[in-house]
Amino acid sequence: MQIPAELDLLIVGGGINGAGIARDAAGRGLSVALCEQADFASGTSSASTKLIHGGLRYLEHREFRLVGEALAEREKLLGIAPHIAWPMRFVMPHLKGLRPAWMIRLGLFLYDRLGGKTTLPKSQAVSLPGSIYASGLKPEYQRGFVYSDAWVDDARLVILNLRSAAEHGALILPRTRFLGAEREGAVWVARLEDVRTGETHALRTRLLINAAGPWVGGVDNALGARGGKASVRLVKGSHIIVPRLFEGEHAYIVQDAGKRIIFMIPYERDFTLIGTTDVVVDAIAKGASISQQEIDYLCSSVSRYTRQPVTPDMVVWSYSGIRPLYDNGVDDPSAVTRDYTLILDGDKDAAPRLSIFGGKITTYRRLAEAALDKLQPWLPDKRGKWTASETLPGGDLGPGGQAALLAKLRAAYSALPEELLLGLMRRHGTLAFEVLGERRTLADLGRDFGGELFECEVRHLVEHEWAYEADDILWRRTKTGLHMSEDQRLAFHDYMAEYAQA
């Protein structure tokens, strides 16, 4: 590891907020390093519902600024990441006794307009019988509402922001633990440890950003933060994956008996993603995995709507993550604000530290701009805001978007299966040509691990995207683990262990 003598900015935490700030700051000409104690996006940022959305339900909590900003960001993210994010229609079956139809219509009217100009279709009331929107629903649901939002591969959004940051000169340090830091006048002296080798390093930086997610409070305590008091509310959100429940590329948004929102989203071609829960936990370790109670809750809640009952034995995979929300004092975890809060500790005579609480994956780019705005008094006057218009790596699809790019891949690699090319395109965009290179047949791709994962892509992920362990690839940089058998996953773990040693 080569550490420069002194930096403008050190970021602690390799989730979406840290990655977004690193990209923005590096692109402004600042010298930047980012450290992450585990794999990038291995926590909350790969455990979201994978939506770019304003948050329709936040309107009930009168968070109009958050919803408007998120909807405006939705449009920007569809522009800069068209390979890993795309529009999706959401169907809300109407159920008497819960939210009345007039309230839903009013909410959707506001939702269509709060974000300003959009390229997505407006909301509408629909008759469900006989339409594709009734696919998989019980026949008693006769009417509903349809509106637009977008889907995103959350873990890949993190990785592509980090790739962009590195291309702009940032130093990206995976599996590097932040041990602590002390102020020496106008500079922080931070201590870092490579968790793979045990080596420690000192790094001098003028600015320090704590983007450690659920660990934000612990990092602040270790730094002896002097700024405004802030506390984090740890709220676990869990999701389950089951075999596909309905046809079509739309998603469903349904309500449980207590009016909580649950999504059913088409996922990885053959599956349906169902989530999420809201469970307050008092320790990070308690958010590591889904509980049986959460599985039962999600299954029973959506079975109220689906023609095919969803039962716990149908679950093929699950994941859980902790949302590090800013504690605004409310009791209901669903009502805790998803807005971000930035707490600054420092003055003109002391090196500043900025801590980040809360935030949504949708607003990560805007959060990054707000963080750098907050630190502006200490930053050199270089390039201004820029991330809203420059596409993320692989996102330069050109006219025709995904369809045109897929046609180019088919023409260049006509001997490769269509589903393989589609998967590569939706992970890498135009960088799929870099992954495949001159390899034209399946035999050229190297070892076939199953699930449409081949050795050439694995090596690309290790060499260009910091992958190190099997789960980095199976569940974050790709979702090919879903399409493998248990024996195939175990064989891939053995392969990666040998690869890491080599």
Distance between CA atoms of residues 399 and 15, nearest Å? 31
Amino acid at 482: L
What confidence score (pLDDT) does residue 98 get? Answer: 76
Whether domain 6-44+156-231+338-378 has CATH 3.50.50.60: the reply is: yes
Token pair listed for 263:
């999504």
What confidence score (pLDDT) does residue 228 get? Answer: 47
What confidence score (pLDDT) does residue 96 get? Answer: 80
Q: Which residues contact 267 (CB under 8 A, 6 or more apart)?
A: 241, 273
Distance between CA atoms of residues 497 and 353, nearest Å? 38
DSSP-assigned letters across all residues of 378-390: GS-S-----TTTS
Token pair listed for 276:
């999420």
CA atoms within 13 A on the CB side of 387: 30
**Which residue from 261, 248, 161 is spatially nearest to 466, judged by alpha carbons?**
161
What confidence score (pLDDT) does residue 257 get? Answer: 84
Distance between CA atoms of residues 303 and 436, nearest Å? 42
Whether domain 86-151+233-334 has CATH 3.30.9.10: the reply is: yes
What confidence score (pLDDT) does residue 224 get? Answer: 73
Distance between CA atoms of residues 235 and 181, nearest Å? 28
DSSP-assigned letters across all residues of 144-181: EEEEEEEEE-HHHHHHHHHHHHHHTT-EEETTEEEEEE
CATH homologous superfamily for 401-501? Alpha-glycerophosphate oxidase, cap domain (1.10.8.870)
**Which residue from 378, 32, 10 is spatially nearest to 191, judged by alpha carbons?**
10
For the chain, what are the domain ranges? 6-44+156-231+338-378, 86-151+233-334, 401-501
Walk along the chain (502 residues) and give the pLDDT tens digit of each residue. 566 779 999 999 999 999 999 999 999 999 999 999 999 999 999 999 999 999 898 888 888 999 999 999 999 999 999 999 999 999 999 988 778 889 899 999 999 999 888 999 999 999 999 999 999 999 999 999 999 999 999 999 999 999 999 999 999 999 999 999 999 988 999 999 999 999 999 999 999 999 999 999 889 888 876 544 557 889 999 999 999 999 999 999 999 988 899 999 999 999 999 999 999 998 898 888 999 999 999 999 999 999 999 999 999 999 999 998 887 666 666 666 778 999 998 777 789 999 999 989 999 999 999 999 999 999 887 889 999 999 999 999 999 999 999 999 999 999 999 999 999 999 999 999 999 999 999 999 999 999 999 999 999 999 999 999 999 999 999 999 999 999 999 999 999 999 887 7
Q: Which residues contact 27 (CB under 8 A, 6 or more apart)?
A: 164, 165, 168, 383, 386, 387, 390
The residue behind tokens 């965009």 is 429
What confidence score (pLDDT) does residue 258 get? Answer: 85
Global confidence as pTM: 0.96
